[in-house]
Structure 1
Amino acid sequence: MTKALIVATNTPKFDNVNRATGLWLREATHFQQVMQDNEIEVAYASPKGGYIPLDPLCLSGDNMDQIDWTFYLNDEFRNHSLAASIAPDKINPEDYQVIYFAGGHGAMWDFPENKALAKIAEQVMGAGGIVSANCVGATVLLAMRTATGKRFTTGKKLTSFTNDEEALNGLTSEVKFLPEDELKKAGADFVKGDPFQPNVVVDGNLITGQNPNSATAVGEAVIKDLLK
């Protein structure tokens, strides 16, 4: 059976201001829904394992739709997927044909320099699997390297949360860095869409989405790649 590993942040708070953060729920649930609809088994991992915090803003108002509520109210999802995620040293990359890095601002603090997560992604891709990421989750690509030791991002077509979207959020001065800027500095061919509109970029076995509203489309692109 095809298996997908969803990776989310363990970071519950900005390190420079008193502001809670974590996983943006929609980025996980909407991707997982596509996987489930296509009978793909899903597991959750995080940089440290264990508890995955949720950004409180993602649970309010129009940020939640029926898919999000269905997962959020599911005991197995809350008590196992989010509360007992797998640590990197417990993961066998050979078990997964897809790895997906979900966003949420917390990922800025524990994805970009995480060699353990990067190594897992490198092994999944090296075995012919798919590396996918959405929004701020794409910052994990900064830690990845090619078989020859070069930066994985060099020359790769990809996207992530954009500078324009961060400015519209009013968080430009509060975030650790701007993902768009850092990915460009790392040699990426950055493909920007309209703010908060779905945008997915496919470059071989690398699939990236721009913002929370892209998570479903990233999942659909993964399925299309698997069916080739």
Structure 2
Amino acid sequence: MTKNILVVMSSEDQLPLKDGQTHATGFYLNEFGVPAHRLTQEGYALTIATPKGNRPPMDHGSDTKDFFKDEAEHAQIKSFVEQTLSGPIHKLSDAAANLDQFDAVFLPGGHAPMIELMRDADLGKVLRHFHEKGQPTALICHAPVALLAAQQDAAAYQTALQNGETPAAQGFLYDGYKATVFSTPEEQDAEKTFEAPMQYYPADALRAAGMDVQNGGKYQSHVVRDRELITGQNPMSDEEFVTALLGALKGDAVNA
């Protein structure tokens, strides 16, 4: 029987910044395409879901060979992504109603998960299911911030962050877990190209909720696995990240 991976992606394409400004965003081409392509090559089926059931927007800044081995891989993955996203896109609430059909959940990065996924109640339900089942839960780059949906009042937590307050997470599923996410030094570099400062940094948001955030060097591949949770730091982590996810799907033990 074919194993099925739930891929949760953002519906949004405008990241709110301080002072009411926004920055165009979406998913990163390689952060979705490289893991997704490898998973399909290994025989896994993909079910794509977004909160609105719309086609997820791509961050056009990621459509460059700079995030791939060469132009040939860039073209191959771009074609694969276009074909994949031309198929059915499910509403996240519908996917969340039948989670037993899935063997893992995967969230690609780009800044978009910081918009609505980190407060999405349906995503909170999804994360709780995979947490309770001990099934692979894999998030790369900015996507680990969406883990914050798995608490009692994720919307209030996000609002506190946006207001520059120090939030208090309640009932957070991943309290004490080790993870990585796009680092603050990396984010500060990206921020220089924005119209205004970020409202908050992902690493700070996860640490405030009780996670043990472990970052590697800037723009170096870095993956952390703790129990069912697999996280990758940045776009350069795509290959190492999907290798870790495949290992978890095949039952490999977590490294001590």
Query: What TM-score does the superposition give when structure 1 sets the normalisation length?
Result: 0.90
- Identity, % of aligned positions: 24
Match of 1:195 among 214, 218, 237: 218
Name the residue aligned to 2:40: 36
Contact 1:14 1:175 in 2 (8 A): no
- Matching of residues 40-59 of structure 1 within 5 Å: 40-59=44-63
Match of 1:185 among 170, 195, 208: 208
Distance 1:61 1:220 in 2: 21
Q: Which amino acid aligns with 1:30?
A: V
Distance 1:139 1:170 in 2: 17
The Cα shift of 1:41 comes to 1.1
Contact 1:46 1:52 in 2 (8 A): yes
- Matching of residues 60-209 of structure 1 within 5 Å: 60-64=64-68, 65=70, 66-74=72-80, 75-80=82-87, 84-91=88-95, 92-145=98-151, 150-171=171-192, 173-209=196-232
Contact 2:34 2:77 in 1 (8 A): no
Contact 1:153 1:183 in 2 (8 A): no
- 4+ runs of 1 displaced by more than 6 Å? none
The Cα shift of 1:212 comes to 1.2
Contact 2:28 2:58 in 1 (8 A): yes
1:225 aligns with 2:225: no
The Cα shift of 1:174 comes to 3.2
Q: Which amino acid aligns with 1:167?
A: Q
Q: Paired residues, what number?
A: 223
Distance 1:4 1:79 in 2: 17
Name the residue aligned to 1:20: 24
Distance 2:200 2:14 in 1: 15
Distance 1:105 1:174 in 2: 14
1:210 aligns with 2:224: no
- CA pair 90-129 structure 1, distance change in 2 beyond 3 A: same
Contact 1:29 1:68 in 2 (8 A): no
Name the residue aligned to 2:6: 5
The Cα shift of 1:218 comes to 1.6
Question: What 5-or-longer segments of structure 2 have no aligned partner?
Answer: 153-169, 252-256
Distance 1:176 1:43 in 2: 32
Distance 1:174 1:85 in 2: 33
**Residue 132 of structure 1: SS of its match in structure 2?**
strand
Query: What TM-score does the superposition give when structure 2 sets the normalisation length?
Result: 0.80
Distance 1:46 1:206 in 2: 21
Contact 2:105 2:138 in 1 (8 A): yes
Q: Which moved more, 1:32-41 or 1:190-199?
A: 32-41
1:59-81 alpha-carbon deviations (Å, 9 max, x no partner): 1352355444223224522422x
Q: Which amino acid aligns with 1:157?
A: K
Distance 1:88 1:220 in 2: 26
The Cα shift of 1:23 comes to 0.6
- CA pair 46-68 structure 1, distance change in 2 beyond 3 A: farther
Question: What 5-or-longer segments of structure 1 have no aligned partner?
Answer: none
Contact 2:27 2:108 in 1 (8 A): yes
The Cα shift of 1:101 comes to 1.0
- CA pair 18-142 structure 1, distance change in 2 beyond 3 A: closer
Larger Rg: 2
